[in-house]
Amino acid sequence: MLTLVFESLGRRVARHPRLTLVAWVALTAIGFALALFGVHGQSLFDRVSTGEPSVAGSQSAQANEILGEQSESGASITLLVGGVDPVDPAVADAMAAVNEELLALEGVESVIDPFVVPGGVEDEIAQGLLAASGDGFVVDVTLAADLDAAAEAEVADAVVERLDAVPGDLAAISTDVQGLVGSNALIIEAITEQVEKDLTTGEVIALPIALLIMVLVFGGFMAAAMPMAAAIASIAGGLGVLLGLSYLLDVDASVVNVVTLLGLGLSIDYGLLVVSRYREELHRALADDDGAAVRRRRGDGAVHTALVRTMATAGRTVAFSALIVAISIAGLMVFEPDILRSIGAGALGVVLVAVATALTLVPALLAYSGRRLARPGLLSKVPGVRSVLARTADVQSDEGVFSRLAARVQKHPLWVLLATVAVLVTLALPVAGLQMRNSGIELLPTSSPQREFVTQLAEEYPQSASPAVIVVTQTTVEDAAAWAEDLGSLDGVERVDAAAPTGSYVVLGAHLETTDPGGPEAVAVVEEIRALDPGFEYWVTGQAAGQVDFLEALSERVWWAVGIVVVATFVLLFLMTGSVVIPVKALLTNALSLAASLGVLVWVFQDGHLEGLLGFTSAGGIETYVVALVVAFAFGLAMDYEVFLLARIKELHDAGLSNDEAVRLGLQRSGRIITSAAAIIIVVFAGFVFGELLVIKEVGFALAVAVLIDATIVRLLLVPATMTLLGRVNWWAPGPLRRLHARTAITH
| Average pLDDT of span 90-102 | 91
Q: Is residue 291 pLDDT above 80, yes or no?
A: no
* CA proximity to 522, closest of 550, 545, 496, 497: 545
The distance from CA 249 to its chain's CA centroid, rounded to whole angstroms, is: 17
Is the pLDDT at 249 greater than 50, yes or no? yes
Average pLDDT, the chain: 84
Residue 487 and residue 471 in contact, taking contact as beta carbons nearer than 8 Å: yes
Is-contact 514 493, C-beta < 8 A? no
**Given a cut of 50, is residue 2 above it in pLDDT?**
yes
Residue 641 lies in a domain: yes
Q: Are residues 238 and 136 both part of a single domain?
A: no
What does the pLDDT average to over 550-557? 88
> Do 307 and 363 touch, CB atoms closer than 8 A?
yes
Domain boundary among the residues 547, 565, 600 is at: 547
* DSSP code at position 655: T
pLDDT one-digit tens code per residue, 344-377: 888 888 889 999 999 999 999 988 887 777 665 5
Nearest of 630, 696, 686 to residue 204 by alpha carbon: 686
Can you tell me the distance from the alpha carbon of 208 to that of 212, in angstroms, rounded to the nearest whole number? 6
Check: CB of residue 534 under 8 Å from CB of residue 486. Answer: yes
The Cα–Cα gap between 533 and 535 comes to: 6
Range with the lowest mean pLDDT among 381-390, 535-544, 697-706? 381-390
pLDDT at 655: 85
User: Coil, strand, or helix at residue 707?
Assistant: helix
Last residue of a domain, one of 517, 547, 577: 547
Could you tell me if residue 69 is inside a domain? no
- Domain co-membership, 228 together with 335: yes
How far is CA 648 from each of CA 575, 576, 579, 589, 654, rounded to the nearest angstrom? 15, 11, 15, 19, 10
Given a contact cutoff of 8 angstroms between Cβ atoms, the answer to whether 346 and 238 are in contact is: yes
| Dist. CA 53–CA 543, nearest whole Å | 10
In a domain, 349, yes or no: yes
Statement to judge: residues 485 and 577 lie in one domain:
no
**Could you tell me if 151 and 107 are in contact, meaning their C-beta atoms sit under 8 angstroms apart?**
yes
Residue 529 lies in a domain: yes
- Would you call 421 exposed, middle or buried from its count of C-beta atoms within 10 A (0-12, 13-18, 19+)? middle
472: CB partners within 8 A, 6+ apart: 63, 66, 67, 502, 505, 506, 507, 538, 539, 540, 541
Q: What radius of gyration do the chain's Cα atoms show? A: 30
Q: Collapsing DSSP states into helix, strand and coil, what is residue 145?
A: coil
The answer to whether 569 and 583 are in contact (CB under 8 A) is yes
Same domain, 407 and 450: no
pLDDT at 298 over 80: no
What is the rounded average pLDDT of the residues 277-289?
A: 77
pLDDT digits (tens, 9 = 90+) for 628-642: 888 888 888 888 888
Q: How many CA atoms lie within 13 A of 563 on its CB side?
A: 7
**CATH number of the domain where residue 724 is located:** 1.20.1640.10
Q: Is 211 contained in some domain?
A: no
How many independent structural domains does the chain possess? 4
Based on the fold, state whether residues 173 and 253 are members of the same structural domain.
no
Strand partners, 80: 138, 180
Angle at alpha carbon of residue 743, lines to 737 and 748, rounded to 5°: 105
Per-residue pLDDT of 128-138, as tens digits, reads 888 888 899 99
Note whether 543 and 602 are same-domain residues: no
- Of residues 464 and 377, more confidence is placed in 464
CATH number at residue 536: 3.30.70
Any bridge partners for residue 78, and if so which? 140, 182
Phi and psi, residue 182, nearest 5°: -145, 155
User: 171 and 136 in one domain?
Assistant: yes
Residue 478: inside a domain: yes
Is 95 part of any domain? yes
The last residue of a domain, from among 182, 203, 228: 182
What distance in Å separates the CA atoms of residue 656 and residue 224, rounded to the nearest whole number? Answer: 34
- Give percent of the chain above pLDDT 90: 25
Rounded to 5 degrees, φ, ψ at 192 are -65, -45
In this model, does residue 149 exceed pLDDT 90?
Answer: no
| φ/ψ (deg, to 5) at 65 | -65, -40
DSSP H or E run through 87 = none
My answer on whether 145 and 158 are in the same domain is yes
* CB within 8 Å of 373: residues ≥ 6 apart: 218, 220, 222, 223, 275, 278, 279, 282, 366
- Reduced to 3 states, what is the DSSP secondary structure of residue 88? coil
Report the C-alpha gap between 722 and 445 in whole angstroms.
Answer: 44
Instruction: Give dist(CA 90, CA 340) in Å, integer.
Output: 53
CA 374 to chain centre: 38
Note whether residue 51 is domain-resident. no
User: Does 623 share its domain with 475?
Assistant: no
pLDDT of residue 51: 65
Q: What is the largest CA-CA distance in the chain?
A: 101
Position 294 scores a pLDDT of: 43
Per residue in 214-239, pLDDT (tens digit) is 777 766 677 778 888 888 898 888 88
Q: What share of the chain is helix, strand, coil (3-state, %, to 5)?
A: 70, 5, 20
**Which pLDDT belongs to residue 240?**
86
pTM: 0.82
Residues 608 and 748 in one domain: yes
- SS3 category, 517: coil
Q: Which range marks the domain in which residue 170 is found? A: 80-182
Which of 634, 595, 631, 607 lies closest to 435 in space, CA to CA?
Answer: 607
What are the phi and psi torsion angles at 81 (to 5°)?
Answer: -105, 130
pLDDT, one tens digit per residue, over 487-507 is: 988 999 988 888 888 888 999
- In tens, the pLDDT along 385-416 reads 445 444 544 445 567 788 888 899 999 999 99
Q: Are residues 697 and 714 in the same domain?
A: yes
Q: Taking the chain, what is the end-to-end CA distance rounded to the nearest angstrom?
A: 9
Q: Are residues 438 and 456 in the same domain?
A: no
**8 Å CB contact between 632 and 328:** yes
Let me know how long the chain is: 748
**Per-residue pLDDT at 382:** 52
